[in-house]
Amino acid sequence: MTVHFFDTVEEFNLWRSKNKKKSLGLIPTMGNLHKAHLTLLEQSLKDNQASVLTIFVNPKQFPEDDDFKKYPRTLANDIALATSLAEDMKATKKDIIIFAPEDTSEIYPKGFNENIESGKIGSILEGTFRKGHFNGMATVVYRLFKIFTPKRAYFGKKDYQQLHIIKNIVKDYSLKIKIVSMPVVRDESGLALSSRNQFLNKKQMLEALKLSQTIYETKYLLVHEGRELAQEFVSDVVQDNPAFNYLEIRAADSLLPITSKTKKMVILGNYQIESTRLLDNEEVKL
Ligand code: AMP
């Protein structure tokens, strides 16, 4: 196993020119790695001869400047975590490339003027609260696809709406990249792992459980009592608890409202604790 650390595209291109035939997996992240990110890297290490884990806090996807500034940046620890995972896996002949550009111009070269539209799906749910977020995310992912031209790219289902938008980009631009989606990783209490959890104190961590617990209650109702009752429950929850920015049962393949015939669904929720927005979801098949 060889770990490379590159902070310029030129360094990557040089490596690639000497390793043209290696299958490449891409794992885009914003760093501050935790166990969930490592499940993506682990899968890529299994599937590919080389894996590029990118660490880039993308300014374009933060409509809120404060949120961008306070996003945790922990590069040394991230490198240590990725390296120790590779050692644990004994992925001896594999390459890990950690790509963490210091300069934004590595991703958006001077004069870069492109904006990838996230489309209709980018304007619902999270999109109604974070205007411009998904266009910024789509733009950076498209750039990363262009820079690295991976065979496969790995994303978590935790960001369910994001995953849909990325799959649309691949279709719209006829990219030859397989999108591998990985399950939501939770801690023992059920809280979905997130870099934002560290902004919560102990009391708030307990309050945060309301989100996953309510999603599980909704899932139970959907499976055992049917769509109507579950829908009523969801509307009541949102009305009674203003911390829910939304809680919705949607069709898993379109993210549109469900009908009496929808079989594959997803319960999506966002819960606000002070300035921290927590995101979670759970798929349900009836
Ligand atoms: P981020 O660094 O937050 O942009 O996340 C990078 C990737 O990790 C994205 O594909 C996320 O969906 C994924 N990810 C983050 N947290 C989780 C989680 N708890 N479970 C599964 N995937 C996750």
What pTM does this model have?
Answer: 0.97
Mean pLDDT of the chain: 96
- Where are any strands of DSSP class E within the chain? 2-6, 24-29, 50-55, 95-99, 152-156, 178-182, 244-251, 264-273, 276-285
* Residues annotated as catalytic (active site), given as ranges: 37
Whole-angstrom distance, CA of residue 166 vs CA of residue 155: 9
Angle of helix 202-225 relative to helix 227-240, nearest 10 degrees, comes to 160
pLDDT tens by residue, 236-275: 999 999 999 999 999 999 999 999 999 999 999 999 999 9
Q: What is the pLDDT of residue 90?
A: 80
Ordered DSSP codes for 46-57: HH-SEEEEEE--
pLDDT tens by residue, 153-169: 999 999 999 999 999 99
Q: What is the pLDDT of residue 19?
A: 98
Query: What's the 205 CA to ligand 1 centre distance in angstroms?
Result: 19
Beta carbons of 190 and 198 less than 8 angstroms apart:
no
Q: Which atom of ligand 1 is nearest to the CA of 195?
A: 3
Dihedral pair phi/psi, residue 112, rounded to 5°: -60, 130
Q: How far are the Cα atoms of 36, 48, 187, 194 from residue 278, in angstroms, in the given order?
A: 15, 32, 14, 8
Going by pLDDT thresholds of 50, 70 and 90, the confidence category of residue 10 is very high
Q: Is the pLDDT of residue 89 over 90?
A: no
Dihedral pair phi/psi, residue 214, rounded to 5°: -70, -40
Q: β-strands 276-285, 264-273: how paired? A: antiparallel
CA-nearest residue for atom 17, ligand 1, is: 36
Instruction: List ligand 1's pocket residues with C-beta within 6 A.
Output: 29-30, 36-37, 40, 155-156, 158-159, 182, 184-185, 192-195
Give the side-chain half-sphere CA count within 13 A for 84: 9
SS3 23: coil
Beta carbons of 47 and 132 less than 8 angstroms apart:
no
CA-nearest residue for atom 11, ligand 1, is: 156
Q: What is the pLDDT of residue 278?
A: 98
Q: What is the pLDDT of residue 86?
A: 86
Beta carbons of 119 and 143 less than 8 angstroms apart:
no
pLDDT tens by residue, 19-67: 999 999 999 999 999 999 999 999 999 999 999 999 999 999 998 888 8
Q: How far are the Cα atoms of 22, 123, 262, 270 from residue 254, in angstroms, in the given order?
A: 35, 13, 11, 18
Q: What is the pLDDT of residue 66?
A: 81
Q: Which atom of ligand 1 is nearest to the CA of 185?
A: 20
User: Which three-class secondary structure string do you get for 244-264?
Assistant: EEEEEEEECCCCCECCCCCCE
Query: What's the 176 CA to ligand 1 centre distance in angstroms?
Result: 22
User: Can you read off the two tokens belonging to residue 183?
Assistant: 């399950």
Q: Which atom of ligand 1 is nearest to the CA of 33?
A: 2
Average pLDDT for residues 137-151, to the nearest whole number?
A: 98
Who wins on pLDDT, 145 or 93?
Answer: 145
Average pLDDT for residues 6-22, to the nearest whole number?
A: 98
User: Which residues, in sequence order, are bridge partners of residue 272?
Assistant: 277
Query: What's the 17 CA to ligand 1 centre distance in angstroms?
Result: 30
Query: What's the 153 CA to ligand 1 centre distance in angstroms?
Result: 13
Q: What is the pLDDT of residue 64?
A: 83
CA-nearest residue for atom 13, ligand 1, is: 156
For residue 92, with 0-12 CB atoms within 10 Å meaning exposed, 13-18 middle and 19 or more buried, which class applies?
exposed
Q: What is the pLDDT of residue 236?
A: 98
Q: What is the pLDDT of residue 37?
A: 98
Q: Is the pLDDT of residue 92 over 80?
A: no
User: Can you read off the two tokens belonging to residue 160?
Assistant: 């369910």
Average pLDDT for residues 178-203, to the nearest whole number?
A: 97
Q: What is the pLDDT of residue 5?
A: 97
